[in-house]
Every structure is written in C-alpha cells, then in structure tokens.
Amino acid sequence: MAFFDVKFGEQELIRAVVPLLKLLCLTVIGILLAHPRTQLVPKSTFKLLSKLVFALFLPCTIFIHLGESVSLKNLALWWFIPVNVIISTVIGCVLGLLVAVICRPPPEFFRFTVIVTGFGNTGNLILAIVGSICHDSDNSFGPYCHTNGTAYVSVAQWVSVFLVYTLVYHMMEPPMEYYEVVEEDGEIEIVREDLRANDLSRPLLHEAEWPGIEDKETKHCKTPFIARVFANVSDFSQTSIPDPDSLEDGHERPRSPKSIRCLAEPRMVRKIRIVAEQTPVRHILQPPTIATFLALVIGLVPFLKSIVYGDDAPLSFLTDSLDIVAGAMVPSVMLVLGGMIAEGPNESKLGIRTTIGILVARLLILPTLGIGVVLLADKLNLLIEGDRMFLFVLLLQYTTPSAILFGAISSLRGYAVSEASALLFWQHVFALFSLSMYSIVYFKLLMSYV
C-alpha cells in the first residue's frame, strides 16, 4: 500500500475540478442574491437559512449516513480521524505562532493570530465538498462515497466541537492589557479601556455556524476571565477570585457549606476548577452533535439498526424522509457562504503583512505538511487499507480555511470581531484557488492509492 507517481489524464483532472466548480456556482448564486446592490434576498432570510442548516439539514445528513455505516469494527478503524484533527490543529497553531513572531501583529491580536491559523473548518465545508464529489454515480470513491465520507466527517466533528468550546473559546479571551483594574470597597473590578469597539453588524457571519449566539452570553464571556483568576493583578486577594457558586447565576450569594469546603482547596486547584466551571462545554449538545450521538447509539446496536436503517426496515419511511431533507444541506451551506462573502471584508487592524502570513500558512503551507502527515500515517499502516475517501477526508482537514465559527466566538467574547470578519472573508476568497489546486494534487495521489 503506497503512493506513487502515475499518469494524471484529462478525465482525472475533470473529476478533481468539476465538483468544486459546482460549489463555486452555488456560492456565486448566494453572492448575487445577498449583494447589497441587488438585495434580492434580505439578510434575515439567509439568517433563517443558516438556522435551518444548523438545526435541521446538517443533523439529518449526519443521522442518515453515520448511522448506516457505523459499527463497532468500523469505529475501531476510524480512530485516526479525530487524532488527525488534533494533529492538524497543533501543526496549525505552531504555524500561527511562527506567523505571529515573524509578521508581528498588534500585541492584542497575538493569540488571535495563533488560534485562527490553527483551527480550520472540519465540518460544513468538507461535507459540502464530499457531497459535491459523490453527486456523480461514476465518482472515484465507489458506491458508498457519500455515506462513508459523511460518516468520517461526522466523527471528526466531535473533537472539533470540543476544541471550539474549550481551546478556541479561551484563546479568544479579550487581552488583559486593555482592561483597567479598579478596586472599590475591597472588591476588584475589571473595566474595559480604550479598546476599539467592535461593530457587530455582521449577523450572518456571527451566526453562520452558531445560530442564537446572542443567547449564549454570560457575565464573564466578554472579560479576561482567565487572566483575572490566574494573574496576581494588584495582589489579588482570595476574595477577589470569583466564587463558583455566585458565578452560576451572576449574583453574589452567602457562602454555602460547599463554598466553605472549597476554601480548603489548594489555591491553584481552586482556580483551575473555577475556569473549568466557566468553560461552556454544555453548549456541545447542539443539534448536529445530538444527531451524531443518536446515530452512534442506533448504529452500534444491531437490533435498533435493523429497525431504522435499510430498505426493508420498519422505519425506512422515516429515514427516507430525513434523507430528502438532508439533500438541502449542501446547497444551503454554499448559499449561506455566498451571503457571507457578499457582505465584503470588514475593517481590520490586524495588518496586511499578518493577514497575508495567515493566508499563506493556513492555505498553502499547512496542506503541504498535511500530505506529509498522511503519507507517514499510511507508511505506518495506521489508515484503512484501500479506502480513498478516508484519505481524502484526512487531507481536507488540513486544506480548509479557518472555521466560520470564529465569527461567532469573536462576537461572543467581544474580541477581534472586525478582524475575524475580514480574515474569514479573504480566506474563503483565496480558498477557492487553494482548494482547487490541492484537490488536483489529492486526486493525483489518490488515483495511485492501491
């Protein structure tokens, strides 16, 4: 089992490029419908469409294809998919650190540069690419192209969602340097200084992959919470650290016996627990992840699987109905993306040099390194033998632009909102070319995979 050089004819070139051209056409339609000069479809409609993708089309797609293909044997074979997400994120963050050191963005955007380079779109965009490639019956990945591809992406999303609500959420914390520490009556209060107010006028970007984000705001989401807990600002006293019981509802309350017991905890342990309690892991239970969980439960139990999945299953009418709904996922995702691009880039203080550095690192260097990682994994026999779609999904995880969720997270944290908007715009514009180039490279490699 190996990759080697083979002749790449006109037919293979067409198969590599045409699926992306289809997605490009859908994106252009979205741009034309949402462009400010035409305004054929208002933003509110695109906002509603993004909610339908999030709450209906994507969960149906995951439930239909993941549940049908999953089994205990397959789940054991798929272990490298979530590992690959972590590897790609780590390599991307290292590249982001190099970009931040070399390009020297404004100090307040150092962490933003690192994490936005490291965390890519491992969900909707890859699902759209897989759906477009598998749309033709004579595709290069076999009759189970769409089912297997969707299953692989769905498994990867578990890790991606967890990273979003932990690593990305805390890395996008507003910088402490732009807050003023004020002490009143023994209480320490952190007040925002002259940090440019971010314009939250991009509702489509902010909710493209996280509808209802305005309902997720908490008391501390727009403050440097970790810095407040861990840094000894003005010699923090024990009482200056937020009490976990009071953080649950945002109001101070008399210390309960539980709080008294907490006083006996080591100071560092208490700080870590406070941060962990304020990490919004509970938001992981969103419709797509719930659909993934249900598909895994039903798919791993043979009796339940025989009832729900299959042409002769008693509930086949239900899965057929969900499959019809799932057909709207790919065009809807690309139309929403087109609507987002139609809004144009926002004003950014990140700097041209840093923006170009992120584009090059994320869209050009990282995919090249990803090829090396996948080749090494193949050489070590860590991949599924003879499964081209498995390799293709692994490679795409290194190739996509930064996750659109950065728009939502930046809005939620009140940090780098305009910069995230501008950067996501330029990344998705240039990704049209980088994805096309690397798709040709990937197809050339995959055609030699035996």
**Global pTM value:** 0.82
As a CATH number, domain 10-174+277-448 is: 1.20.1530
Measured from the Cβ of residue 370, the count of other Cβ atoms closer than 10 Å reads 24
255: pLDDT strictly greater than 70: no
pLDDT of residue 248: 46
250: pLDDT strictly greater than 70: no
Within 58-167, residue ranges assigned H as helices are 58-69, 72-77, 80-103, 110-118, 124-133, 145-163
DSSP-assigned letter for residue 282: G
164/149 Cα distance (integer angstroms): 22
62/69 Cα distance (integer angstroms): 11
pLDDT of residue 194: 43
| Cβ-proximal residues to 107 (8 Å cutoff; 6+ apart), any chain | 175, 177
User: Position 149: which residue type?
Assistant: G
pLDDT of residue 331: 93
Contact 339, 53 (CB under 8 A): no
| Cβ-proximal residues to 429 (8 Å cutoff; 6+ apart), any chain | 341
257: pLDDT strictly greater than 60: no
For 68-91, what is each residue's pLDDT tens digit?
999 999 999 999 999 999 999 999
**Confidence category of residue 366, pLDDT binned at 50, 70, 90:** very high
Least confident of 32-46, 279-293, 376-390: 279-293
Q: What are 172's two structure tokens?
A: 């996008």
User: Where do the domains of the chain lie?
Assistant: 10-174+277-448
314/309 Cα distance (integer angstroms): 9
For 319-360, what is each residue's pLDDT tens digit?
999 999 999 999 999 998 888 888 888 788 888 999 999 999
**Confidence category of residue 217, pLDDT binned at 50, 70, 90:** low
**Burial class of residue 324, CB neighbours in 10 A (0-12, 13-18, 19+):** exposed
388/1 Cα distance (integer angstroms): 12
Nearest Cα residue to 423 out of 339, 332, 340: 340
**Burial class of residue 2, CB neighbours in 10 A (0-12, 13-18, 19+):** exposed
113/170 Cα distance (integer angstroms): 14
Bridge partners (DSSP) listed for residue 192? 179
92: pLDDT strictly greater than 90: yes
154: pLDDT strictly greater than 70: yes
Phi-psi category of residue 59: left, alpha or beta, with phi > 0 → left and psi -120 to 50 → alpha:
alpha
Give the H/E segment covering residue 191.
strand 187-192
Measured from the Cβ of residue 4, the count of other Cβ atoms closer than 10 Å reads 8
